[in-house]
Amino acid sequence: MRSFSVSLALVGLVVGVSLVPHALARTGSGGIYSVYPRVDAMVIALEAQGLAIIRTTNGTTYEVVQRPRWRVGDQVECEHVAYTRVPWERLSCRKVSG
């Protein structure tokens, strides 16, 4: 019985240690900031679901989370977010003028 409990403890230790590299891989030493440059854009449409469509200065359109007091035509500045689960959270935007 003692050898069974020792074996079970060793298996638990091995499984626990094997999960550590996966957990540490998510927290890189560089932080969670993005390496992409900031994006200047204009709000071209507001949607009822709380999303806004923006067009960047190079013509690319994105769907982003709408902030309070945004209107069509406002200038926004956006930064890429390193880890997101949904496409409309890839950019974090703030109003700069308008």
Answer yes or no: are the C-beta atoms of 56 and 62 closer than 8 Å.
yes
* pLDDT at residue 13, rounded to an integer: 65
Answer yes or no: are the C-beta atoms of 41 and 72 closer than 8 Å.
no
* pLDDT at residue 28, rounded to an integer: 52
- Predicted TM-score (pTM) of this structure: 0.61
Domain boundaries defined on the chain: 39-97
* pLDDT at residue 75, rounded to an integer: 94
Residue ranges of the chain whose pLDDT lies below 70: 1, 6, 11-34, 98
Which architecture does CATH list for 39-97? Beta Barrel (2.40)
* pLDDT at residue 61, rounded to an integer: 92
Task: Quote the CA–CA distance of 52 and 70 in Å, as a whole number.
Answer: 9
Task: Quote the CA–CA distance of 68 and 86 in Å, as a whole number.
Answer: 20
